[in-house]
Structure 1
Amino acid sequence: MKTKGILIFVFLIQLVFAQSGRYAASFLELGVGARTMGMGSAGVAATGQVTAPFWNPAGLAMVERLQAGSMYANLFNKLEQQSYFGFVLPVMKNSVVGISWMRLSIDEIPRYDFDEDSPITAYQRLHGQAQQLTYGPVDYFSNQNDVFIFTFARLIPTKFDLGWQYFEIPVKFGFGLNLKYISQQLDRNKATGIGIDIGWLMSLNLNDIFAGEYYGALNFGLNVQDLAETRMVWDTESRHVDRLKRNFKYGVQYSQPLAFLDSDLILAYDVNTKYDGNTHLGAELLIKSLFALRVGSNFGHLTAGAGVLLWRFRVNYAFQGHDLGNSHRVSLTLVF
C-alpha cells in the first residue's frame, strides 16, 4: 500500500507546521516597496507613499495625487516569488482610498509516492536520514499566499495653542483603516480570513516651532495590525483555525534639509511587539529630489538601496540580507 508524501526543503516544512502558532500568515511581514525596504523596512512614520497600507495605513492620509505602484521579486535563491500592485486616490478633501494586492508563491513543489512497507520512512527522507530518491515525482503542487487590502485614510490638520501670544503650532494628524482579505492555499487545502488594521500618524514641521528655516520635519506613527486577532479557517475536515496575533508597530522619522547640498537626510526607526520586539533602522539621502541613496538594518540584517525620479516615475532598488539568502527588489511608482 502506498501513500503520498511531500518532499521539500526542511525549512518550508517547518514553516507550514508552524502556521498554527506565532508564524500564521507570516508572508504579510515581508512588506512591499523597495524604498522602505532599502531603509531597513522602517516605514511606520513615513507619509505619502502608495505602499503605506503595509506599513501604516495612516500614511496614505498625506497622499496628494493619484499613485500606482508595483513590485516583483524572486526571494531566497529563487525559491519564492513575490508580486505586488497598489493604487491610491484622493477622493474628497483630506480623504484618500487605496487598493493593494500582494502574493507570495512557491510553484512546482514535487510530490512523491512513498511505500509504507519500505524500511525507509518518509520522515527519514525528509530529515536527511536516507539516500536520495532515484525516481521522479508523481506530480507537482503549489503554495500561494494572497492578501487584498482596502484602505481609507483621513487627514486632520489642526493647530495647538501653547498659550503664547499670537503663536500656534500647526500639526497634521493622519488616521487610517485597513480591511484585508487573506488567503493561503497549500496543495488542495485553503485558509481564508478577514482582518483589520488601524493606524495613526502625527507630523510636525519644526520650522514652525523654532521659527527657523532648516529644522526639518518630525513624524510619529502607530500601526495596530490584526486588531481583532484575525482568524484563518482552513477547509479541512477539522476546520483548523490559525490566529494572527495582534501586533503594535511604533515608528519615528526625522527629515533634515541639507541646504549646502540641496538635499535632504531622512532617518527612521521602527519597533514592533511581535517576535519579542523586531527593530528596523534606516537612512536616506535624497539629492536634489532626483536621486536617493539608502542604508538600514532590518532586525539585524543589512539593507541598502537607491532610487531615481524620472518624470512621473519613481524607480527604486533594495537589497536585503537574510539567513535564507539575500534578495533584490525593484519597484516602480507612477505619480499622476
Structure 2
Amino acid sequence: MKQTKTLLLVAILGLGIGLPAAAQQAQSVLDIDPGVAMLGAGAAGISVANGAETLYYNPATLAALPGISFSSFYASYLGLANYSALSLTFRNWGLAALLLDSGGIDGYDADGNPTSTLSYKNTGIIFGVGIDPSILPFVPNMAFDFALGARVKYVSAQIGAEKGSGFSFDLGFRTTIPDMRLGPIAATDMAFGFTAVNLFGGINYDVETNDFLMDLKLGGSARLADVFFVALDLHLGGSAQLGFIYSPVPSLDLRLGLISRGTVSLTAGVGVNVDGFLIDYAFVSHKLGGTHRVSLTLDFSSLDIAGLSRSMRNILP
C-alpha cells in the first residue's frame, strides 16, 4: 500500500515540478508552491513581506506587515486536481487553509494490478506568529534589526478509504539591511530570511507514519532604482528560486521567475492594486502544459473605499 500511495501522491503533487519521490517521505498540499503574487516571481518569498501570502513563506516576516490582509486563490492542475487557499494575516500573526482534491484516479496494488478508482483529498491548516524583539521592553538594543517567527502546520489526507493526519513545526528568521547605493543605483528594502521547515512531524496512517521532508531555506531580496525588485531563495534540499518584479507605476507589478527543483519551470505573472483591492495572476510552465492561478486580496492597511468607488465609476460605462 505504501508504494501505491507514494506513486499516487507524486502523480498528483509532483506535476513535473521535481518533487522527490522518496517512499519514506510524505508529500502533501504543503509541498506545492503556495500563493499567486510571489509565485509569478519564482516563489522566492523567504525574505519578502507581501501581505497575506507572507505566512506561506516565512513566519518571521509577519512582524513586518503594516496591518490586516485577506487573500484567496484557486488553481486547476492539468485538469487532475483542484487547489485553493484562504489566508488572513495581521501584524505579528496569521492563519491559512490550503485545500487540494482529486477524483477518478485509477488505483493499482503493489504488483501493478488494477484496483478500484481512488480519490485524494488533502487539507492543510497553517498558524504562524512573528515578532520583532525590539518591541519588547526587557530586550536590550540590538546592533541590527531582526524578527523571529514560528509556524505550526496541520495536514489531513484521504487516499481512497485510507485516512491520515499529522502536524509539523517551522522556525523563521528575517533581518533588514540599511539602504545603500550601488554607484548610480539605489538599493532599498533589502532583507535576508531563513527558515527551518518541518523540524519534526509526519502524517500518521493506521499502520504507518510518513515523515515530512525537512529543509533549510535561505533567501535575500532588494529593490533597485525604485522600480525593480529581485529575490533569490536557496534550499538545502537542492532547489533554487529566482524572481524579478518590475513596477512601472505603484499600482502595477510585472513578474518573472525561475524555479529549479529537479527540472526548471518558468513563471510569470501580473498584479494590479486598486486602492487596496489586489488582483494577481500567475503562470507556471510544465512539460505537460502550464498551470494558471488567480487570486483576490484585500489589503485593509491601504484600502481606500472612496478611491475604489471612484476608480470603478471611471472604469464602468
Normalising by structure 1, report the TM-score.
0.75
Q: Deviations over 1:110-148 (max 9, x none)?
A: 569x9xxxxxx9836x6xxxxxxxxxx97x542011110
Give the aligned partner of residue 123 of structure 1.
Answer: 112
Q: Which runs of 4+ in 1 moved over 4 A?
A: 8-11, 168-171
* 1:288 aligned partner, one-letter code: V
Unaligned runs of 5+ in 2: 15-19, 136-140, 301-317
For residues 1-336 of structure 1, the aligned pairs below 5 Å read: 12=11, 18=21, 20-22=23-25, 24-75=26-77, 77-90=78-91, 96-109=92-105, 123=112, 141-157=118-134, 171-207=144-180, 214-228=186-200, 230-235=201-206, 239-258=207-226, 264-274=227-237, 277-299=238-260, 300-336=264-300
**Residues 10, 58 of structure 1: CA spacing in aligned structure 2 closer, same or farther, 3 A cutoff?**
closer
**Contact 1:153–1:177 under 8 Å retained in 2:** yes
Give 1:108 deviation, angstroms: 3.1
Whether contact under 8 Å (1:103, 1:146) holds in the other structure is yes
Matched residue type, 1:29: D
The residue identity in structure 2 corresponding to 1:123 is G
Question: Is the radius of gyration larger for structure 1 or structure 2?
Answer: 1
Q: For the Cα contact (< 8 Å) 2:13–2:29, is it kept in 1? A: no
Normalising by structure 2, we get a TM-score of: 0.79
CA contact (8 A) 1:224 1:248 kept: yes
Within 2, Cα distance between the matches of 1:147 and 1:252?
Answer: 27
Give 2:280's aligned amino acid. N
Structure 1 window deviating more from structure 2 (181-190 vs 46-55): it is 46-55
The secondary structure found in structure 2 opposite 1:50 is helix
Mapped to 2, the partners of 1:98 and 1:195 lie a distance apart of: 16
Cα distance in structure 2, aligned partners of 1:176 and 1:204: 18
Summarize the Cα distance change of 1:29–1:324 in structure 2 as closer, same or farther, 3 Å threshold: farther
User: Is 1:157–1:171's contact at 8 Å kept on the other side of the alignment?
Assistant: no
Change (3 A) 1:302 1:310: same
Q: Distance in 1 between matches of 2:143 and 2:40?
A: 31
Contact 1:254 1:268 in 2 (8 A): yes
Determine the C-alpha separation between the residues in 2 that align with 1:62 and 1:271: 22
Q: Give CA-to-partner distance per residue, 1:63-96, whole Å, 9 cap, x none.
A: 1111101110001x21111010000123xxxxx1
- Structure 1 residues 172, 257: CA separation in 2 closer, same or farther (over 3 Å shift)? farther
3-state secondary structure, aligned to 1:216: strand
Match of 2:17 in 1: none
User: 2:189 corresponds to which letter in structure 1?
Assistant: A
What SS does the corresponding residue of 2:187 show, helix, strand or coil?
coil
- Superposed CA offset, 1:170-217 (max 9, x none): 84312111011111110111111111111000012314x99x993313
The number of residues matched between the two structures is 282
Partner amino acid for 2:252?
F
- Relative to 1, partners in 2 of residues 1:172 and 1:332: Cα closer, same or farther, differing over 3 Å? farther
Change (3 A) 1:171 1:105: same
Q: Give the equivalent residue in structure 1 for 2:308.
A: none
- Between the aligned residues of both structures, percent identity stands at 26
Q: Alignment RMSD, CA only?
A: 3.2
